Structure 1
Amino acid sequence: MRQRVVTGVLGGAFIAFVTYYGGILYDFVYFGITCIAIYELSKTLFNSGFKYGAIINYLFAISLFVAKINDYLIYFNFILFLYISFNFVMFIFNKKINLKIMSQIIFVGSYVVFFMYHMILMNNSKFVWIVYIIAFGSDTFAYFTGKLFGRHKLYPQVSPNKTIEGAIGGILGCTIISLFYFDYLRINKYIYIIIFSVSASVFSMLGDLAASKIKREYKIKDFGNFLPGHGGILDRFDSVLFVAPVVYYFINHFI
């Protein structure tokens, strides 16, 4: 427990500093986080973090990262198109790439690279803090509410410790904090904010459950040991992956 707390505090302080500082440091840190997550998930799916399935996703991440730091965001959709098309071409002409392998490769690219890229897109934005409020706030409030009032299991086949009461507490807790933060930013579209906060909190829990289901299917406890006491990068950022796109598109279309 002590190791978990120390890692959590130091890791949280580091991410807070990087986010506050922004700029190229932020881009590089989240690019690094993306690559580590690719390695962890590829090792789970392909038994190696350096086989073709992993390499093609490293190249996908590098392409998006280069486009971002050079302000070539207009090529985002084109890069995504090339990535998907290339995987289909390899599936057709490479006998070693069957439908299962291609699906797993695109799954890693979607789940890790595409979702996490939205964190890089929000570099130097005051709204990036909303991702942390929702992702980590939901998890924290859900944990303590579940400990105090949890009686009914949420999804025991995948995550036996999560409860319905904890989920409700997580949603309410992060919604309240989100309202305070948006009020601090002098944004008073309260109905939109409440709908967004509830939806984003649900997505945060879905991210956690998705990671739990992968680990259960592949019979592993953690994705890695990069973060002592917490497991791998994916074990800590599973909720962030799902929340980041929700925040990004909400801000761009409704604020």
Structure 2
Amino acid sequence: METRQRKQRMDLKEEANDSAPDAPSDDGSKMAPPPKDDTPEILKKALKVFAIQVKCFHEIITIGHRYYQTFELPWFRTLSWYFLACANYFFYLEARSELLPDSPVIGFLLKYHRLVSFTFYLIGFIMFVLSLVKKMYKIQFFMFGWTHVTLLIIVTQSHLILTNLFDGMIWLLVPVSMVICNDIMAYMCGFFFGRTPLIKLSPKKTWEGFIGGGFFTVILGWFMSGYLAQFPYLTCSTDFDLGLGVNTQCEVPAIFRPATFEIPLFVQVLLKVVGLKMTTFVTIPFQLHCVVFSLFSSIIAPFGGFFASGFKRAFKVKDFGDIIPGHGGMMDRFDCQFLMATFVHVYMSAIIRVPSPSRLLPMILALKPDDQVWLFEKLKEHLKVGVGIRMNT
């Protein structure tokens, strides 16, 4: 009996030692720590953006499906998701080809990417034509257009969000924060000072909230952008050679380094009136661009919310979904964000971004060897002329 009890105590002691974390062994060493999550942070955020895209698409299509289902017509939901897959295949395979493994199949898909994408689309198009039912043509074509407009609004703009993210997380973090700030401050200013209705689509929105939200958003954008610009982890673009990691040792782009700017003459005159004699000032160029972003997020981006409000009123629904208790669906939270992200991408492409060798390299590698040699010779001639000019000057 005593032997059995002693054995039970020893077994309990061994179980306790096994369950204790980092318990030292007899030789003084510690147990191995649990494995770390090595998934790149940039990839986690990209997957979150993709998940939000799918959920927003689902919420809009569901509204159409409820209306469409009353006619007992086939294939609408199936075709909607099929076209979503085709759109994502078209956008992401071509834009992020450097992430794909090197294999004959991948090489074939990249070489004939647009042809393959169009073939996939044609399959869906033919399926839609075969699903047409007599006396229901009008509603079926209406829902066909519904699906394509949803793809345009959701997939295209989420693709631009990811493009901004890969250029540096600051290009996603700051615009998103501006929209959130404007939403919160517009509500608070409207709650305390609102008297004048702004737009009939949203009766609770007021001019006081609209103006107050814009004022505080500009202030937040200025100070927040200046603070975040000092962190290379946010300003450096994604290095695809590091497996989607962020190269924090990159050379900080000039847009995030302090620079001297000349004050316009009429502003100098105004400053002299108040006793300030300034002709130049020093700031980070990114802060000046963020003033533009702040104004857009305050003046234009709210119309994305007005658009969503009109859409919901047209189909007599309160919210797009109920995934967020008390706040509706995912689309209710991101109606302004999509518009804001699109503007940031267009603004960067037109005003900020310069040609990047990393973006040209995949296209160069896709050329035939003879074309690559021809391009090399042309670049060599160009560089010789450029070096000669610099040496002569």
TM beyond 0.5: yes
Matches within 5 A, 1:196-207: 196-207=293-304
Residue 31 in structure 1 maps to residue 50 in structure 2: yes
In the alignment, the residues of structure 1 paired with residue 118 and residue 187 of structure 2 have an alpha-carbon distance, to the nearest angstrom, of 41
Q: Could you list the runs of 5+ residues in structure 2 that have no partner in the other structure?
A: 1-39, 70-75, 100-109, 230-255, 257-283, 353-393
Matches within 5 A, 1:12-23: 22-23=41-42
Residue 179 in structure 1 maps to residue 219 in structure 2: no
Q: Quote the residue 1:130 is aligned against.
A: 174
Q: Quote the residue 1:103 is aligned against.
A: 145
8 Å CA contact 1:39–1:50 kept in 2: the answer is no
Q: Quote the residue 1:41 is aligned against.
A: 60
User: Matched residue of 1:50: which SS?
Assistant: helix
| TM-score of the two chains, using structure 1 as the length reference | 0.77
| TM-score of the two chains, using structure 2 as the length reference | 0.52
8 Å CA contact 1:31–1:65 kept in 2: the answer is no
Of structures 1 and 2, the one with the larger relative CO (CA 8 A, separation 6+) is 1
Q: Pick one of 126, 137, 141 that aligns with 2:185.
A: 141
Of the structure 1 ranges 218-227 and 48-57, higher mean CA displacement relative to structure 2 is found in 48-57
In the alignment, the residues of structure 1 paired with residue 345 and residue 123 of structure 2 have an alpha-carbon distance, to the nearest angstrom, of 27
1:114 counterpart letter in structure 2: T
8 Å CA contact 2:195–2:206 kept in 1: the answer is yes
Of the structure 1 ranges 42-51 and 208-217, higher mean CA displacement relative to structure 2 is found in 42-51
* Per-residue deviation, 1:58: 3.8
Map Cα deviations across residues 96-122 of structure 1 (whole Å, 9 max, x no partner): 375422321221011111112222112
* Per-residue deviation, 1:30: 1.0
Map Cα deviations across residues 119-178 of structure 1 (whole Å, 9 max, x no partner): 21122432211221221111111100111111111112x211111111111211111111
Matches within 5 A, 1:47-126: 47=66, 50-71=77-98, 82=118, 93=129, 96=132, 98-123=140-165, 124-126=168-170
Identity rate, percent: 22
2:333 counterpart letter in structure 1: R
8 Å CA contact 2:83–2:124 kept in 1: the answer is no
1:146 counterpart letter in structure 2: G
8 Å CA contact 2:64–2:143 kept in 1: the answer is no
1:251 counterpart letter in structure 2: M
2:339 counterpart letter in structure 1: F
Of the structure 1 ranges 176-185 and 47-56, higher mean CA displacement relative to structure 2 is found in 47-56
Q: Quote the residue 1:167 is aligned against.
A: 210
CA separation of 1:202/1:87 partners in 2, compared to 1, >3 Å: closer, same or farther? farther
In the alignment, the residues of structure 2 paired with residue 203 and residue 116 of structure 1 have an alpha-carbon distance, to the nearest angstrom, of 18
* Per-residue deviation, 1:31: 0.8
Of the structure 1 ranges 179-188 and 197-206, higher mean CA displacement relative to structure 2 is found in 179-188
Greater fraction of residues in helix: 1
Please tell me the root mean square deviation across aligned C-alpha atoms, in Å: 3.3
Of the structure 1 ranges 63-72 and 245-254, higher mean CA displacement relative to structure 2 is found in 63-72
CA separation of 1:216/1:179 partners in 2, compared to 1, >3 Å: closer, same or farther? same
In the alignment, the residues of structure 1 paired with residue 198 and residue 78 of structure 2 have an alpha-carbon distance, to the nearest angstrom, of 36
Map Cα deviations across residues 3-22 of structure 1 (whole Å, 9 max, x no partner): xxxxxxxxxxxxxxxxxx63
* Per-residue deviation, 1:51: 3.5
In the alignment, the residues of structure 2 paired with residue 170 and residue 118 of structure 1 have an alpha-carbon distance, to the nearest angstrom, of 26
* Per-residue deviation, 1:204: 2.1
CA separation of 1:78/1:150 partners in 2, compared to 1, >3 Å: closer, same or farther? farther
